[in-house]
């Protein structure tokens, strides 16, 4: 992040031209802090309000409630499975996007980005029309006696659909940063295509891949709109944390707040992890 | 101009842009009134032709019916238009408690009207029941599980969707199952047998209806007024002795700026034309409400 004030600037040559350039941001940090303050407050205040809504004892009591525990464990299970699916399905696409020029590349690229910008409710509806009992794939499955909607599988499908884009995006950037010459060199030394990928490309792209994995997991954990439409709401089966928060809000503010605090905490932690651990060693 | 001044200038320009942006999106109400008051004559001196916009907070189940009622009301009262905020009654009551500007509140149940009364913005004696609603079993047009009455919901393997207990329709559905379990000839395990078939407790009654329309479920329990507006489902009556009569109260807020027009709207809803329209949308009208 060399564009941040105070990092990149330090590496500038001492004989950098003077004059207009003197007025660089880092020369008047207090002005910039004053201008940055509204956004910082805007983002931080609601989260702090959430954190301090319940006294700690009440928060703990709410977290211990069986329906809350159920939602937490269901969320952890489904979001982990969704992340696994995102990695398995996303790795080949990310590698293709990073390495190959082909016709329709832009279209594929756009398709991958679509779930990020679509309202999740649209995704839920679309999934229903494919995997629903009368859907394109759902109808033949139903004939075999398999129902997808309203099951945990549906939760995982919804989360994967929403989260996979984030993984592909980050992994593509990771693969693109690997020098093709390194792969070529390995190939010349007799490594097969599989060996090149597993031994050279993937390890070198690990920072992008891992941060994509963490982002996808956090996004899956927070998925709401697609899940409630496609998987419905059944405590212990399809009621993930975000659903429990939404329904809890109608009945029990304490439960909603307790689950929200966990989600905020986990998301914050995941982002820290990405930036702290995976980001370390960046030039 | 030296460097420092230029720098300060930029900061000021940025601040001004920020303020303008804030003013642009809703902040206008914060900044504008003083200027408006200074330049325009007071509202009372404006001709009576001036547009009045009534803000009506109404339960989501009234969406279609109230749209038609409002159009007829505006036609009969030139210069008065009605703007709606349709949502779950509980959300509306919360918004009223938070000070949202509203002239009329039409709730889908007494409990949420009580919540609004407790906020002090509706007088205790003001709410009047204007329609009633009942619950009904809906099945997809082709009725894949061959359901013919309420008791069929207990048949193992039926895919059933209910509204969540957190919303009134869900509570009513459970109440009906309880009554049915107690009824002679149905069997005391009826409630549990039915609940074993439930695959989802939807967050609102409309989504129960839509998923039955899509064929995702073999059956659902919704309001009569929901079922009547949807050709994709068949409604199966629930017997009166087991059914729930949901009462919808309506009231003018005591801080309404257009109290007279608001009262006129409520009177129109309670009057013969309003009631006839509501009846067309499947609501129970006058006879039921006067019986209470």
For A204-224, the pLDDT digits (tens) are 999 899 999 999 999 999 999
CA distances from B264 to B62, B71, B259 (A): 18, 14, 9
Q: Considering only CB atoms, which chain B residues are within 8 Å of A28? A: 7
Find residue B84's DSSP bridge partners: B56
| pLDDT value of residue B286 | 65
For A24-35, the pLDDT digits (tens) are 555 678 898 999
* Averaged pLDDT, A51-62: 89
| pLDDT value of residue B278 | 95
| pLDDT value of residue B16 | 52
| pLDDT value of residue B29 | 37
Run of H or E residues at B13: helix B3-22
Answer yes or no: do B6 and A246 touch at CB < 8 A: no
Residue B111 sits at the chain A interface (C-beta within 8 Å)? no
Per-residue pLDDT of chain B (292 residues; tens, 9 = 90+): 454 455 555 655 555 555 445 444 433 333 333 333 333 444 444 444 568 999 999 998 898 899 999 999 999 999 999 999 998 888 899 899 889 999 999 998 899 999 999 999 999 999 999 999 999 999 999 999 999 999 999 999 999 999 998 788 899 999 999 999 988 777 789 999 999 999 999 988 889 999 999 999 999 999 999 998 889 999 999 999 999 999 999 999 999 999 999 999 999 999 999 999 999 999 998 654 443 3
Mutate to test the interface with A, among B16, B87, B167, B200 (most CBs of A within 10 A): B200
Length of chain A: 283
| pLDDT value of residue B19 | 46
Residue B196 sits at the chain A interface (C-beta within 8 Å)? no
The domains of chain B are located at 48-132+247-291, 135-237
| pLDDT value of residue B43 | 44
Residue B201 sits at the chain A interface (C-beta within 8 Å)? yes
The domains of chain A are located at 66-278
Residue A57 sits at the chain B interface (C-beta within 8 Å)? no
Burial class (CB in 10 A: 0-12, 13-18, 19+), A51: middle
Residue A147 sits at the chain B interface (C-beta within 8 Å)? yes
Q: Considering only CB atoms, which chain B residues are within 8 Å of A233? A: 164, 200-203
Residue A136 sits at the chain B interface (C-beta within 8 Å)? no
Residue A134 sits at the chain B interface (C-beta within 8 Å)? yes
For A118-142, the pLDDT digits (tens) are 999 999 999 999 999 999 999 999 9
The fourth-level CATH superfamily of domain A66-278 is MetI-like (1.10.3720.10)
Q: Name which of A20, A27, A150 is nearest B200 (Cβ-Cβ).
A: A150
Residue A159 has pLDDT above 90, yes or no: yes
For B1, name the nearest residue in chain A, comparing CA atoms only: A20
How many residue pairs bridge chain A and chain B with CB atoms within 8 Å of each other? 66
Q: Considering only CB atoms, which chain B residues are within 8 Å of A225? A: none
Contacts by A119-122, CB closer than 8 A, 24 or more apart:
A119/A225, A120/A162, A120/A223, A120/A224, A120/A225, A120/A226, A120/A227, A121/A225, A121/A226, A121/A229
Complex prediction ipTM: 0.78
The CB-side HSE value for B24 (13 A sphere, CA atoms) comes to: 6
Q: How far is B5 from chain A (nearest CA, A)?
A: 10
**Backbone angle region of A70, left / alpha / beta, with phi > 0 → left and psi within -120 to 50 → alpha:** alpha
The fourth-level CATH superfamily of domain B48-132+247-291 is Periplasmic binding protein-like II (3.40.190.10)
Residues 6+ apart with CB under 8 A from A162: A115, A120, A123, A219, A220, A223, A226
Q: Could you give the strand order of the β-sheet that contains B233-237, starting from the edge strand earlier in sequence?
A: B198-202, B160-163, B219-223, B135-140, B233-237
Residue A133 sits at the chain B interface (C-beta within 8 Å)? yes
| pLDDT value of residue A40 | 96
| pLDDT value of residue A11 | 44
Find residue B137's DSSP bridge partners: B221, B236
| pLDDT value of residue A102 | 87
* Averaged pLDDT, A3-32: 54
| pLDDT value of residue A26 | 58
More reliable by pLDDT, A247 or A234: A234
Same fold, B48-132+247-291 and B135-237: yes
Residue B19 sits at the chain A interface (C-beta within 8 Å)? no
DSSP states of B117-134 as a string? HHTTSS-TT--EEEEEE-
Q: How sure is the predictor about A255, in pLDDT bands with cuts at 50, 70 and 90?
A: confident
| pLDDT value of residue A29 | 84
More reliable by pLDDT, B20 or A190: A190
Residue B164 sits at the chain A interface (C-beta within 8 Å)? yes
Residue recorded with tokens 């905490």: A265
Q: How sure is the predictor about A85, in pLDDT bands with cuts at 50, 70 and 90?
A: very high
The CB-side HSE value for B180 (13 A sphere, CA atoms) comes to: 25
Average pLDDT score over chain B:
83
- Percent over 70 (pLDDT), chain A: 87
More reliable by pLDDT, A77 or B61: A77
For B153-201, the pLDDT digits (tens) are 999 999 999 999 878 889 999 999 999 998 877 778 999 999 999 999 9
The fourth-level CATH superfamily of domain B135-237 is Periplasmic binding protein-like II (3.40.190.10)
Out of A160-164, A243-247, B160-164, least confident range: A243-247
Q: Which of B235, B211, B217, B216 is nearest to B225 (CA)?
A: B235
* Averaged pLDDT, A228-237: 94
Residues 63-102 of A with CB under 8 A from B: none
| pLDDT value of residue A101 | 86
Residues 151-210 of A with CB under 8 A from B: none
**Which value, to the nearest 10 degrees, does the dihedral of the CA atoms of residues A163, A169, A170, A174 take?**
150
């Amino acid at each position: 992040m060399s564009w941040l004030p105070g990092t990149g600037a330090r590496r500038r040559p001492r004989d950098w031209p003077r004059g207009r350039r003197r007025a660089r941001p880092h020369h008047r940090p207090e002005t910039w802090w004053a201008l940055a303050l509204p956004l910082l407050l805007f983002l931080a205040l609601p989260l702090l309000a959430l954190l301090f809504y319940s006294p700690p004892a009440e928060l703990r009591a709410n977290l211990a409630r069986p329906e809350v525990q159920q939602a937490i464990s269901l969320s952890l299970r489904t979001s982990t499975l969704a992340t696994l699916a995102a990695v398995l399905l996303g790795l080949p696409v990310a590698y293709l996007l990073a390495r190959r020029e082909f016709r329709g590349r832009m279209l594929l690229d756009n398709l991958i980005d679509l779930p990020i910008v679509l309202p999740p409710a649209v995704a839920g509806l679309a999934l229903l029309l494919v995997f629903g009992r009368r859907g394109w794939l759902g109808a033949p499955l139903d004939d075999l006696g398999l129902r997808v909607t309203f099951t945990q599988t549906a939760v995982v499908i919804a989360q994967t659909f929403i989260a996979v884009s984030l993984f592909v995006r980050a992994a593509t950037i990771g693969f693109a940063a690997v020098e093709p010459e390194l792969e070529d060199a390995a190939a010349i030394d007799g490594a097969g295509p599989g060996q090149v990928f597993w031994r050279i490309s993937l390890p070198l792209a690990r920072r992008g891949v891992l941060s994509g994995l963490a982002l996808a997991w956090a996004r899956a954990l927070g998925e709401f709109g697609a899940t409630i439409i496609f998987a419905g709401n059944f405590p212990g089966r399809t009621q993930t944390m975000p659903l429990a928060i939404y329904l809890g809000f109608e009945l029990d503010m304490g439960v909603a707040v307790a689950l929200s605090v966990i989600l905020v905490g986990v998301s914050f932690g995941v982002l820290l992890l990405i930036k702290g651990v995976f980001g370390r060693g960046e030039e | 101009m030296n460097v420092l001044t230029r720098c300060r200038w930029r900061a000021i320009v940025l601040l001004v842009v920020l303020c303008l942006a804030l003013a642009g999106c809703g902040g206008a109400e914060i900044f504008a009134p003083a200027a408006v008051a200074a330049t325009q004559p007071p509202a009372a001196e404006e001709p009576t032709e001036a547009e009045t916009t009534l803000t009506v907070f109404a339960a989501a189940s009234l969406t279609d019916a109230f749209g038609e009622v409002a159009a007829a009301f505006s036609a009969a009262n030139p210069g008065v238009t009605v703007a709606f905020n349709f949502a779950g009654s509980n959300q509306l009551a919360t918004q009223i408690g938070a000070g949202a500007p509203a002239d009329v509140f039409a709730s889908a149940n007494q409990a949420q009207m009580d919540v609004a009364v407790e906020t002090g913005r509706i007088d205790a004696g003001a709410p009047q029941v204007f329609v009633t609603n009942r619950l009904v079993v809906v099945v997809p047009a082709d009725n894949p599980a061959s359901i013919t009455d309420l008791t069929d919901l207990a048949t193992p393997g039926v895919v059933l969707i209910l509204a969540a207990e957190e919303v009134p329709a869900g509570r009513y559905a459970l109440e009906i199952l309880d009554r049915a379990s107690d009824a002679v000839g149905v069997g005391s395990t009826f409630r549990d047998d039915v609940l074993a078939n439930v695959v989802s407790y939807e967050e609102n009654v409309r989504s129960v209806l839509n998923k039955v329309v899509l064929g995702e479920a073999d059956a659902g329990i919704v309001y009569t007024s929901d079922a009547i507006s949807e050709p994709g489902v068949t409604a199966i009556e629930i017997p009166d002795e087991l059914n729930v009569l949901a009462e919808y109260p309506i009231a003018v807020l005591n801080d309404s700026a257009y109290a007279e027009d608001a009262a006129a709207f409520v009177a129109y809803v309670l009057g013969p034309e309003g009631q006839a329209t509501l009846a067309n949308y499947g609501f129970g009208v006058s006879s039921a409400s006067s019986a209470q």
